[in-house]
Structure 1
Amino acid sequence: MSYLKRIFPLLGMWLCLLVSQGYAEEQGAGASASSASTSSDTTSDLLTAETKPRIFDEGLPRTVRAGQNLQPFGANLFAGNYTSRRANALDPNYQVIAGDKISLRMWGEATANEVLTVDANGNVFVPDVGEIHMVGTRASEVSNKVKAAVGKVYKDGVDVYANLLTASSQEVTVFVTGSVLRPGQYTGLPDDSVLAFLHQAGGVDPRRGSYRQVMVKRGQQRVASVDLYDFVNNGSLPRMLFRNGDTIVVRPQGSMISVEGDTRNNYRFEFLGNSINGAQLIKYARPDSSVTNIAVSGTRDGLPNSSYISYEQFLHTRLYDGDSVRFVSDAPTPVMDISLEGSHLGNSYLAVKRGSRLQEVLDYVSVDPNEADIGNIYIKRKSVALEQKKNIDESLRRLERSVLTAPASSDGEAAIRAKEAELILKFVERASTVRPEGKIVVSDRGKVANIRMEDGDIIVIPPKSDVVMISGEVQVPQSVVYASNATLKDYIAQAGGYTERANEESLMVVKPNGKVIMGRHLQVSAGDQVMVYPRLDTKDMQFTKDLVQIIYQIAVAAKAVGL
């Protein structure tokens, strides 16, 4: 299994690349720096903006859910865990009903320790005192009412304590039916809410049930109607006391409209009646303030219909069952958002005119010339990060296909290929998590290219550094102080020299501006990183070249070279 010994240095290298967070980047994207040097050391005031700086989102696109996958508005009412009130935690406003039990204790001139049951006439009987009418008495007033009745018989010398107990007679059985997930018969307390019983039944069926037409029936009579939209938006929920045999019915789902786009509520909204206008939908959808246009699609007179209208026109547009509405921020904005990182003074966010170039933006950035390395500025760009991620993923897919379809001429070779495949697939799994930074090298030899800026760009001004980092296949990876008369060989020597696995023919130097240079005789400057890669033997492993190519892609694209 000698090929395993040869692959270990390679795997150790990519693990280093995936874990560490040093410098690296786009080696082909470096611009020919033919423009004049930056004037970033000016003391001009920064442009201001109230919005916080955007966070570079690692080059990953965000997707919008398709209309058919949207949840109905209000569906999250039943997404959590409902915990019913414990039976011994009565609402102080609960009213006593026949069958309830009351604990009575008397001591002093007269004694008693009994549990009294409220009879069908609504009374309890206390020896030597008589009947006390209790039905309709609030739980918080039970003790006072019993004390008052006993006090009429025993003027002095008797203390009384009475408490409403819980009992099965306090529970009610309610039927829940219609468009719910688990229709059936459920038990609760009389003052439980409609939501409590619906939750026991699994909630409203999101595909069939109405969130706006829930009724409570007592026999053949409707005693309450509930619109759950009122509860979601305003907290309004009818309160009632349930009785045994009451029925909660969830009506079939009414007309629905799907809402997507630049809005706070991307849901399917139910409406009562045949149609609503755009102004009514906006109250529920709550579009962003940046919305300028609305795309409406649906069916009119049996034929597909779509329109793209302004916000003002939408307010008076009639919407019907099955329509899909997308809110769009379509007005061209005259400014771009640019962020700053690294060694600079003042704000880290700029709002600049669309079409501005790097030199123009840098005129509004103040730096300390003694701290900022203005000759090594670089840019992180989302579009570049997306392209780098795409290229890495494509290379990984090719490698994965190659290893899974590799032929074997014997059982022994098949076993070797199986071990190779196991290691390669682990590598693919880890490497697929790499998030490129999208660096663009815009500086060289102190000159900064005057490239056109894009919305969301991040300008990075590295701090000045007096050290050189050496890592990889050296005896003692470390950072050392830069010396102007030292060569690459000298820095390697300070790190203890090469290991026996080092590839001395191809070294990597990563510049502070992100530029990557490879070779043997390289010039080292302050702030550089020197990376020594292992020497790879390709005789026993046919996929090594592919692995090396991917690892170099990761090193260049994902800021992964470091100690």
Structure 2
Amino acid sequence: MKRILFILVLPLLVFGAVDVSQMAGTQAKDEVTETRVNSQKTNSMGENPAEKNEDIEIKLEESFVRVFGEHLFNGNFTQFKQHIYNPDYKLAIGDRVNVKIWGAVDFSSTLVVDSQGNIFIPMVGAINLLGVKNSALVKVITRSINKVYKSNVFVYADLDIYQNISVFVTGNVNKPGLYEGLSSDSIIQYIDKAAGINLEYGSFRDIQILRNNQVVKKVDLYDFLLDGKMELFPFRAGDVILVGSVQDYVFVKGDVQKPFRFELGNTIHNLSDIAKVAGVKPIVTNAVVRSHRQDRQLLVSAYDKKQFAEVKLYAGDEVEFRPDYVAENININIEGEHNGLRSIVVRKGTTLADVAKMIVANNQSDINALQVFRKSVAMMQQELISAQLKELETLALTSSSVNAEQAAIRATQARTILEFIERAKQVEPKGQIVIDDVRTYASVVLEDGDRINVPNKNNLVIVQGEVSIPGAFVYTNAKDLKYYIELAGGYSNRADIARVLVINNSGKASKYNGRWNYAAIKAGDSILVLPKVDTQNLQVFGMLTQILYQIAIATNVVLKM
């Protein structure tokens, strides 16, 4: 009896029995790499013109922790100014004041505070407004006018344009400095001018406004982020905004709307608080908390949703919210050539043999070649391909060159490889489980969401990849690999004749040397001719070949180089 094989291409590309437990533990690790490949053309005189340099700068995907509030400071707040009445604003030289007088005398004008701090009103004279608070503006002007006009005179005055003030923004921001704005601008606008809070060590909850070296206000931006609350503060020239360091925080992941790093504080103390802030989904039933205590002990605890309010959070805790339902039944989808239901619900533990008996077959159903596709297998295949692509990207961009000519060739090859990597990232593995013998149906235990495909009893052979005329050809008994390659017009100039894949309906893949191996072909088989890998770097060659195999087997498609 033959074993059941998962279609997974391991680094050694072994087609055969695979230990599923080892595959389940395989994970693609993120690599943080930034590499530049330079190709410089040098002329015979040793000159190195800058305009002839060819640069390739690639940043691989960085792995980082997402921080709650990271979207707040993106430059949008720096584009706007808000002219809001500020009663504490003190008039300065250059301010423009709208003055209206009516009654015994009519006067209306916009007056500018001159270099001596005065405005001048005809028949009244100079009125000193330097340092006068906005709230006292009308009172000061009225008092001066009443010295000339004793009665029946009414006065109205307001600031036409506020002068910019300068505010220091410092602490844990990306660009500390002195920034101009209006006194009525919000603290968010000033921090945005400083390129926002440093996400690595800056705090969104510990922000202070200092005036004359004294703290006059404390700000918690979580009030704005969570509830939209923002208390406007009248700034003065010379004020200091000090962003503190992040102190106690927890990490949240799982079935939540906001999987971020959150700072603990007055509004976040326990699991119930963080569940509300992170927006747990309705399906959540429990939480797993990994807590790093000061005694160097790692505590891992699970809590029911009813216990959330009783569980206190500590700095550095990792919280995962998740559903934990015990299902007795699973849902299976049945596709392909049959006359029965397309979706069935069966008991957990049901095998492929059990479901095969439920399928209503017709004359075209190949019930002895059932195909099973599984999401978890597709994810493993995707992770393996992604890991190989990361390694290939690093190899392509870090290859050394002995001279300028070789550097130019390497740079061109690197571009080609990077284009290939981008296309390879878009592939979607099928996640097929290889079942090479109908007698193994009874040992295939189905999982929720599995797709079972009933193949058609077709008499076709698919030939694709590097051949002259890819297509589907009628199966002819006792004909071999060479026969179908010739039907497809023979190998193309880019074909890697030594590496030809034949994939059966069952998903089993076999590798052949197309120069002399005349393998027998069965109805329903797919013949995949892979492209040549053109590179002098043996490591890159091996990695590219490996990836082409992986993609071909996982998707049943040849990816062009």
Same fold (TM over 0.5): yes
Matched, 1:449 2:441: yes
Of 541-550 and 191-200, more deviation after overlay is shown by 541-550
Matched, 1:73 2:68: yes
Deviation at 1:113, TM superposition (A): 12
d(CA) in 2 for partners of 1:501 and 1:77? Answer: 51
CA 1:218–1:331: 2 relative to 1, 3 Å: same
Mind listing any 5+ residue stretches in structure 2 that lack a counterpart? 1-12, 19-24, 32-62, 100-106, 138-156, 394-404
CA 1:371–1:62: 2 relative to 1, 3 Å: farther
Matched residue SS, 1:196? helix
Q: Is the 8 A contact 2:291 2:317 kept in 1?
A: yes
Structure 2 equivalent of residue 559 of structure 1:
556
Deviation at 1:188, TM superposition (A): 0.6
Deviation at 1:531, TM superposition (A): 5.0
Structure 1 equivalent of residue 286 of structure 2:
292
Structure 1 equivalent of residue 370 of structure 2:
377
CA 1:376–1:115: 2 relative to 1, 3 Å: farther
d(CA) in 2 for partners of 1:546 and 1:92? Answer: 63
Matched residue SS, 1:315? helix
CA 1:204–1:462: 2 relative to 1, 3 Å: same
Q: Deviations over 1:456-486 (max 9, x none)?
A: 5333344665654334676544434x36679
Structure 1 equivalent of residue 218 of structure 2:
225
Q: Deviations over 1:111-148 (max 9, x none)?
A: x998632579999767799999996699xxxxxxxxxx
d(CA) in 1 for partners of 2:447 and 2:180? Answer: 62
Map 1:228-307 → 2, pairs under 5 A: 228-272=221-265, 276-288=269-281, 289-299=283-293, 302=295, 304=297, 306-307=299-300
Structure 2 equivalent of residue 84 of structure 1:
78
Matched residue SS, 1:225? strand
Q: Is the 8 A contact 2:287 2:319 kept in 1?
A: no
Deviation at 1:76, TM superposition (A): 3.6
Deviation at 1:193, TM superposition (A): 0.9
Which of 1 and 2 has higher RCO (CA within 8 Å, sep 6+)? 1
Structure 1 equivalent of residue 39 of structure 2:
none
Counterpart of 1:295, as a letter, is V
Of 456-465 and 430-439, more deviation after overlay is shown by 430-439
Matched, 1:204 2:185: no
Map 1:40-55 → 2, pairs under 5 A: none
Structure 2 equivalent of residue 117 of structure 1:
112
CA 1:339–1:429: 2 relative to 1, 3 Å: farther
Map 1:334-345 → 2, pairs under 5 A: 334-336=328-330, 338-339=332-333
Structure 1 equivalent of residue 182 of structure 2:
189
Counterpart of 2:433, as a letter, is I
Structure 1 equivalent of residue 41 of structure 2:
none
d(CA) in 2 for partners of 1:342 and 1:362? Answer: 13
Q: Deviations over 1:331-363 (max 9, x none)?
A: 554444645555678997666433221244467
CA 1:92–1:242: 2 relative to 1, 3 Å: closer
Q: Is the 8 A contact 2:27 2:384 kept in 1?
A: no
d(CA) in 2 for partners of 1:547 and 1:207? Answer: 37
Deviation at 1:448, TM superposition (A): 8.5
The counterpart of 1:355, out of the listed 349, 365, 374, is: 349
The counterpart of 2:96, out of the listed 98, 101, 119, is: 101
RMSD (Å) for aligned C-alpha atoms: 6.2
Q: Is the 8 A contact 2:350 2:446 kept in 1?
A: yes
Structure 2 equivalent of residue 36 of structure 1:
none
d(CA) in 1 for partners of 2:69 and 2:245? Answer: 15
Counterpart of 2:96, as a letter, is K
Counterpart of 1:297, as a letter, is S
d(CA) in 2 for partners of 1:61 and 1:542? Answer: 22
Q: Deviations over 1:423-447 (max 9, x none)?
A: 99988996996875442243768x8
Structure 2 equivalent of residue 150 of structure 1:
none
CA 1:97–1:511: 2 relative to 1, 3 Å: same
Q: Is the 8 A contact 2:75 2:193 kept in 1?
A: no
Q: Is the 8 A contact 2:548 2:559 kept in 1?
A: no
Matched residue SS, 2:238? coil
Deviation at 1:176, TM superposition (A): 2.7
Matched, 1:319 2:313: yes
Q: Deviations over 1:13-72 (max 9, x none)?
A: xxxxxxxxxxxx997579xxxxxxxxxxxxxxxxxxxxxxxxxxxx9958799xx96455
Deviation at 1:206, TM superposition (A): 4.1
Q: Deviations over 1:242-291 (max 9, x none)?
A: 23233333345443334444544343433347993333333223444334
Structure 2 equivalent of residue 145 of structure 1:
none
CA 1:252–1:388: 2 relative to 1, 3 Å: closer
Matched residue SS, 1:306? strand
Q: Is the 8 A contact 2:168 2:240 kept in 1?
A: yes
Matched, 1:175 2:173: no
Structure 1 equivalent of residue 526 of structure 2:
529
Structure 2 equivalent of residue 48 of structure 1:
none
Deviation at 1:214, TM superposition (A): 2.4
CA 1:336–1:178: 2 relative to 1, 3 Å: same
d(CA) in 1 for partners of 2:257 and 2:124? Answer: 64
Matched residue SS, 2:301? strand
d(CA) in 2 for partners of 1:122 and 1:463? Answer: 93
Deviation at 1:545, TM superposition (A): 11
d(CA) in 2 for partners of 1:137 and 1:341? Answer: 81
CA 1:474–1:315: 2 relative to 1, 3 Å: closer
d(CA) in 2 for partners of 1:135 and 1:180? Answer: 32
Structure 2 equivalent of residue 520 of structure 1:
518
Matched residue SS, 1:84? helix
CA 1:436–1:237: 2 relative to 1, 3 Å: same
The counterpart of 1:479, out of the listed 463, 467, 472, is: 472
Of 68-77 and 275-284, more deviation after overlay is shown by 68-77
Matched, 1:308 2:293: no
d(CA) in 2 for partners of 1:424 and 1:201? Answer: 38
Q: Is the 8 A contact 2:435 2:507 kept in 1?
A: no
Structure 2 equivalent of residue 216 of structure 1:
209
Q: Deviations over 1:397-454 (max 9, x none)?
A: 9999xxxxxxxxxxxxxx99xx99x999988996996875442243768x89342113
Of 458-467 and 188-197, more deviation after overlay is shown by 458-467
d(CA) in 1 for partners of 2:125 and 2:335? Answer: 85
CA 1:246–1:339: 2 relative to 1, 3 Å: farther
Q: Deviations over 1:504-558 (max 9, x none)?
A: 9997654444344666263543x4434568999xxxx999999988866664444
Q: Deviations over 1:302-353 (max 9, x none)?
A: 5636251422344213333444444455555444464555567899766643
d(CA) in 2 for partners of 1:399 and 1:209? Answer: 36
Map 1:454-465 → 2, pairs under 5 A: 454-462=447-455
Of 198-207 and 341-350, more deviation after overlay is shown by 341-350
CA 1:192–1:362: 2 relative to 1, 3 Å: farther
d(CA) in 1 for partners of 2:340 and 2:289? Answer: 42
